[in-house]
Each structure stands twice: as C-alpha cells, then as structure tokens.
Amino acid sequence: MAELSETYACAPSTERGRGILISGDPKTNSIVYTNGRSVIIRRLDAPLEASIYGEHAYQATVARFSPNGEWVASADVSGTVRIWGRHGDRVLKNEFRVLSGRIDDLQWSPDGLRIVASGDGKGKSFVRAFMWDSGTNVGEFDGHSRRVLSCAFKPTRPFRIVTCGEDFLVNFYEGPPFKFKLSQREHSNFVNCVRFSPDGTKFISVSSDKKGIIYDGKTGEKIGELSMEDGHKGSIYAVSWSTDSKQVLTVSADKTAKIWEIMEDGNGKVKRTLASPGSGGLDDMLVGCLWQNDHLVTVSLGGMINIYSASHPDKMPTSFSGHMKSITALACTLQSAEKVILSSSYDGVIIQWIQSIGYGGRLVRKDNTQIKCFAAVEEELATAGFDNKVWRIPLNGDQCGNAEPVDVGSQPKDLNLAVQTPELALVSTDSEVIMLRGLQVVSTIKLGYGATASTISPDGSEAIVGGQDGKLHIYSIDGDSLKEEAVLEKHRGSITVIRYSPDASMFASADANREAVVWDRVSREVKLKNMLYHSARINCLAWSPDSHLIATGSLDTCVIIYEVDKPASSRITIKGAHLGGVYGLTFSDENSVVSAGEDACVRVWRLVQ
C-alpha cells in the first residue's frame, strides 16, 4: 500500500503582459488557481494541504468556488466550463461549451444559480451567462469587439453584470435576462480586471494605462478614480476588494502591490505600498492578487505567492512557490545533515523541498539556462542543457557558488556522478561517452551505436551505456580509460534509464517498451524479471537507500514499486501519480517514495506494509 503523505503543488501559470485571476473561498481560507491542465486548491494557513483536479482535456485558465463553497467551476482554453464537486470523488455536475475560444474569467451569481464567463470567441460572442444546472442562456451580451478579459456579477440584488476587455471598454448589463445598458470609455489601454465591492454599491476597473476607476454599482456611472499621486508606475493587472468594501488591493508590473482607501466621494488614495520581497528582476512583476479575510495574497510573474497580513502589513510576508513547467529530474541529498529534495524543471528552475515543511527556496544560478539532465551529490550539482555544456555548480546551503561550464561537443543525453568520488562524471551524447574529472575531459569514446542512457557505479570503477537497440554495454573504468567488458541483451526497446543500487551489488535498467529489469552486478544475470506492468514507456527509476525496493515511473502516469527479493507480481502500484506522466523518482528514506511529473507537482508517498 502506498499513501499520499505530502503534495508540493505547482505555482500558478503566468504569462508576461497579462494578469491572472486567482480566487478563494473565505470560509475555508482556500485559494484556487490553475497550471497546465490542473486546477489546484490550497489552504493559505496550511500550504502543504493541496488538492489537485486534473480532468480538463485542455489547458485550464481560471477556476472559482461557488458561493456555498461546495462546487468549483473551472474553464479552459477550448471555451469549456466544468462544474464539479469540491469534496470526495469530485463528481462532475456539468460540462458546457460556453465560448468558441479561450475563457479568461468566470464568476458565479451570489445565489449560485448562474455563471457568467468571458474571453475570446468568434464573431461577437465574447461573454455568456448561463444557468449552472441546464446551461441555458440568460441574456444577450453585445457591445464588445475584442477579447473580454474580466467579468463580474453584482453580489446583491438587483443583479448586474459588468465586463471589460481589450477594446478599452467597460460594459454594464442589467438583468436577468441580461441586456446591454451602457458602456464606459474611461480607459486608454487594455482593461485587465473589473470587480464589484462585496456590498454591491461600487465596482472598480483597472487597466494597463495605470489607472483605476470606480463606478456606481447600481447605475454604472463613474464616481471616482484612484489618485495618480503615489500611484502605480506600470500596468495594473488585478484588483481585489476588502471584505468591508472600504479598501482595495492592486498589483502592477512595477513590482509593487498597493492598498487603497476608497473614500466616501468614490475616489481612492494610497494607504500603503507593499514592497515585493524579491530581487527586483523581471520575475517579480506582480500579476495577480486576492484579499481574503485577513490575508493579502499576491502572485508574481515567476510564480511566487506572497501572503501578507492585512492587520499587520509591515510583517514580512510568508512566501511559497513551486514549479511552473514540467519537472524533468528529482534528487534527494543531504545538506548540513538535513534531507533536502531537489527538483528541476526544463525551464531551468531548481527548487529545494524539505519534508513536512514544503517549499525550501529556489536555487538561484548565475546563468539560468534550460536543464535537460541533472545530478546532485551533497555539495555539488551537475546540470546539462541544450547548449552542449555541462555545468558543475558548488552548493553552499541554499546558495549556488560560481559555476564552471565544460563544452562536451554535442548535446548530452544523460549525466551521472560517481557518488563516492563525485569529481568523476559520465556524460553520454548520441554517439560518444565522455568522462570528466572535475572540469577536465579525461576520455572520450566514439560508440558504434546510438546511446540513449548511461550510468556510473558509486565507486567510479564501472560504467554502463544503454543503446537505442536495447542492449546494455558494460565498461570497466581503469584510471581515465574505458574498456568494454560485456554486452547484455534482454530489452526489446531502446533503453531509457539505468541506475546502480546504493550498495552497488545490482543495477536496474528500463526501456521504452515498458519493461524494467534488475541485474546482478557480479554474475550479470537477470535478478528480477517480468517487470512489465506499465502500459507506456518507463521514464525514470529509483532505488531505496537499503537497495531492497525499486520504483519505476512511466508515461502512463503510474509509479510501481517492486521488492527485489519477491516476484514482480507482488508489486505496489500508484495509479495516476502525475497527470501527463512521471518524470522524476527518488527515495527520501526506506519507506518514502518521492515522485514528480509533467503536472509540475512533487508528491511524497508513504509505503505501508
């Protein structure tokens, strides 16, 4: 049996030049956001409690809790809205094709019976309001000529809907059934977000022209604006009201969040500017915000979520983040006697996770290149990207030292460090195997076959290279030279991964034809066979520290754990471990498997006998 003990969730997907609209449920203090095809719900007071919904067929764009907190409506780039139960089996209540293009925002009516969605579409249909149970239209939404970026439902009767978008307009509709009432042309650039105050008396629109304008909630007439004095210096991407309807929080591309007091006459003045705790780079532009109970939540372009306290805004915010792109490699290392899980995604982000705490910070490299292969030992990281270079990066706690690159001539396919003598590294490219000692290339062998995977024994005395032909070539390492000793044939597909057991008595290999094999290192005989339980190619495998268990992760979203001394049929299977496939596996101790995958999440599973 394997139980999910922790989920380190991904960060929200962000896009340069666009805001993201996160939302929350004040009763349970949760927020909901999207990344790829996943919808992520997490508690603000317990960031480790994340639940993930992955039933969308296309990239999800926005999600909202229903007013009673029991249902979630989530939308995707195909224009589909799915309404599903938040608890238990996440039963699908309904699925509607609402628009013909991407949906950018959706909102429930306060009674939870209607939903309005806005976005991109063909012709004039950029907005639709419909009944949540039947999908029937409740109004005509004319008046927009381009993509509608945000919509809002008035939280009190009489109901109103307001929309805004790329045609610089803010449109006001009365209903139900809703029909066009008036249009406001106060903005001179894209209008990014529009929100009603919780008491329904006002609504505010914010735009890329750095302005925020406040209107009367019942008539739609302009009553005031956010003062330009001490205002934002960049596009304003999102806005959120306080629960008492007297203040708003805005975030902008100028990397600041501001709290505004909305006065009786409808104008707003800056009450406080919240400085972003980042380094001030591009990734610190703020693109999303939410004011929920006493929490002020801001989201940066780099996916960092900062939570400030509204009652003590001077206090340093709590920050957490995650990967935004598919995770390609995972490693568990000891740093100052503490176990740290390192994960790297192909966009070059390396994150440290600490078990039972969660996010432990990003490893900032001087040179943020993409990462294809990644290996880690206690004091050092080795990475290889798409630029034919291997980087060796010294680790001092959570800081990276000065990295030195080695050019290996062609793109690395696999990269491994000898654990006991980590200055020795083995790099395999399409047609060569290269041995590095420190930053020196000490030997290069031309291969007569296409190499797809490789590994080096912990003591650095033996190397194995797997080929496209499914054969395993074993080399002995003598000083700085490699000599072929044997060729093992058992696989029927090209080799995807090879790993030595920690005690170096065995090694395991896996192929694209979904089979894994455990071999005895001395006799070179098959030790565990018939490991054929995946339904697609195996991407990764890992040994437990006591060399007793072996885990394989596959494109079929499953992780399977085998015991070396028992037949392969007595396995533990974790189905649906990661949406889109499992790409990283490691053991943090004898009973904990850590997995990572295309959904950009890291999960820790406890093995219970």
pLDDT digits (tens, 9 = 90+) for 503-560: 999 999 999 999 999 999 999 999 998 899 999 999 999 999 999 999 999 999 999 9
Asked if residue 467 has pLDDT above 80, the reply is yes
Mean per-residue pLDDT, 71-95: 92
Strands 358-363 and 373-377: unpaired
- What does DSSP assign to residue 402? -
pLDDT digits (tens, 9 = 90+) for 349-394: 899 998 888 888 888 877 778 888 888 887 888 898 888 889 888 8
CB 236 within 8 A of CB 209: no
Confidence of residue 316 (pLDDT cuts 50, 70, 90): confident
pLDDT digits (tens, 9 = 90+) for 34-56: 999 999 999 988 888 889 998 89
Asked if residue 604 has pLDDT above 90, the reply is yes
Q: Counting beta carbons within 10 angstroms of the beta carbon of residue 590, is it exposed (0 to 12), middle (13 to 18) or buried (19 or more)?
A: exposed
**pLDDT value, residue 356:** 83
Sequence-separated (6 or more) residues with CB below 8 Å from residue 331: 341, 342, 343, 374, 375, 376, 586
pLDDT digits (tens, 9 = 90+) for 562-581: 999 999 889 999 999 999 99
pLDDT digits (tens, 9 = 90+) for 470-489: 999 999 998 888 899 999 99
The distance of Cα 452 from the centroid of its chain, to the nearest Å, equals 28
d(CA 529, CA 515) in angstroms, rounded, equals: 9
Nearest CA among 79, 239, 107 for reference residue 178:
107
Report angle CA 290, 219, 18 to the nearest 5 degrees: 35
**pLDDT value, residue 439:** 86
d(CA 488, CA 470) in angstroms, rounded, equals: 9
Helix, strand, coil percentages for the chain (3-state, nearest 5): 0, 55, 45
**pLDDT value, residue 223:** 92
**pLDDT value, residue 275:** 76
- If DSSP states are collapsed to H, E and C, what string results for 157-184? CCCEEEEEECCCCEEEEECCCEEEEEEE
Collapsing DSSP to helix, strand or coil, 74 comes out as: strand
Length of the chain: 609
CB 162 within 8 A of CB 116: no
Mean per-residue pLDDT, 305-316: 89
**pLDDT value, residue 166:** 93
CB-based burial, 159-181: b 16+ in 10 Å, e otherwise: bbbbbbbbbbbbbbbbbbebebb
Mean per-residue pLDDT, 175-181: 86
Confidence of residue 1 (pLDDT cuts 50, 70, 90): confident
**pLDDT value, residue 405:** 87
CB 507 within 8 A of CB 520: no
Q: Please report, in angstroms and rounded to a whole number, the separation of the first and last CA atoms in the chain.
A: 6
Asked if residue 398 has pLDDT above 80, the reply is no
Q: What is the longest distance spanned by two Cα atoms in the chain?
A: 86
What backbone torsions phi and psi does residue 283 show, to the nearest 5 degrees?
-65, -10
Q: Counting beta carbons within 10 angstroms of the beta carbon of residue 45, is it exposed (0 to 12), middle (13 to 18) or buried (19 or more)?
A: exposed
Tokens 């979630």, residue located: 72
Return mean pLDDT, the chain.
Answer: 90
Collapsing DSSP to helix, strand or coil, 282 comes out as: helix
What torsion, rounded to 10 degrees, do the Cα atoms 297, 300, 304, 310 define?
-20
Instruction: Give the DSSP H/E element, type plus range, for residue 428.
Output: strand 424-428
DSSP codes of every residue in 109-149? -TTSSEEEEEE--STT--EEEEETTT--B-B------S-EE
Asked if residue 280 has pLDDT above 90, the reply is no
d(CA 564, CA 544) in angstroms, rounded, equals: 11
Tokens 């039947």, residue located: 134
How crowded is residue 421: how many other Cβ atoms within 10 Å of its Cβ?
15
Collapsing DSSP to helix, strand or coil, 283 comes out as: helix
**pLDDT value, residue 74:** 95
**pLDDT value, residue 552:** 95
Q: Counting beta carbons within 10 angstroms of the beta carbon of residue 569, is it exposed (0 to 12), middle (13 to 18) or buried (19 or more)?
A: exposed
d(CA 381, CA 390) in angstroms, rounded, equals: 10
pLDDT digits (tens, 9 = 90+) for 208-263: 999 999 999 888 899 998 888 888 999 999 999 999 999 999 999 989 999 999 98
- If DSSP states are collapsed to H, E and C, what string results for 385-427? CCCCEEEEEEEECCEECCCEEEECCCCCCEEEECCCCCCEEEE
Model pTM score: 0.90
Tokens describing residue 268: 């707003």
CB 46 within 8 A of CB 358: no
Mean per-residue pLDDT, 139-153: 90
Tokens describing residue 539: 């991407």
**pLDDT value, residue 82:** 95
CB 543 within 8 A of CB 549: yes
**pLDDT value, residue 381:** 87
Q: Counting beta carbons within 10 angstroms of the beta carbon of residue 203, is it exposed (0 to 12), middle (13 to 18) or buried (19 or more)?
A: buried
pLDDT digits (tens, 9 = 90+) for 100-135: 999 999 999 999 999 999 999 877 789 999 999 988
Asked if residue 585 has pLDDT above 90, the reply is yes
Q: Is 581 left (phi over 0), alpha (psi -120 to 50) or beta?
A: left
pLDDT digits (tens, 9 = 90+) for 399-422: 788 888 888 888 999 999 998 888
